[in-house]
């Protein structure tokens, strides 16, 4: 008997090869668009400002509704993902 989750799972197994290629191409287009927009010193400054103003602030405040906390974490995750995609696109360019 194998251990649970021992086999890697392909979340795209149900897609046709054409659909997989379209998703891959879409990812490359997103990387290129992010690099075009967030390439340069002004873009780096903007990402740093977002980090200072949003990401490096507390997510959970005392007596705040949990929905607000989840929204702040979602926004922070979005900013982190943008920075990650930009860095990935710069590295592959």
- pLDDT value of residue 18: 92
User: Which pLDDT tens digit goes with each residue over 6-26?
Assistant: 667 777 888 888 998 998 888
- Per-residue DSSP letters for the chain? -PPTT-S---TTTTS-HHHHHHHHHHHHHHHHHHHHHS-SHHHHHHHHHHIIIIITS-S--TT--HHHHHHHHHHHHHHHHHHHHHHHHHHH-
Nearest Cα to Cα of residue 78 among 34, 41, 29: 34
The domain locations on the chain are 41-93
* Low-confidence residues of the chain: pLDDT under 50: none
């Amino acid at each position: 008997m194998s251990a649970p989750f021992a086999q890697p799972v392909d979340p795209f197994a149900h897609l046709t090869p054409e659909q997989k290629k379209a998703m891959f191409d879409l990812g490359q287009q997103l990387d290129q668009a992010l690099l075009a927009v967030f390439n340069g010193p002004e873009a780096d400054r903007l990402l740093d400002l977002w980090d200072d103003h949003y990401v490096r602030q507390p997510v959970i405040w005392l007596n705040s509704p949990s929905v607000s906390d989840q929204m702040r974490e979602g926004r922070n995750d979005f900013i982190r993902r943008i920075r990650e995609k930009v860095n990935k696109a710069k590295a592959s360019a």
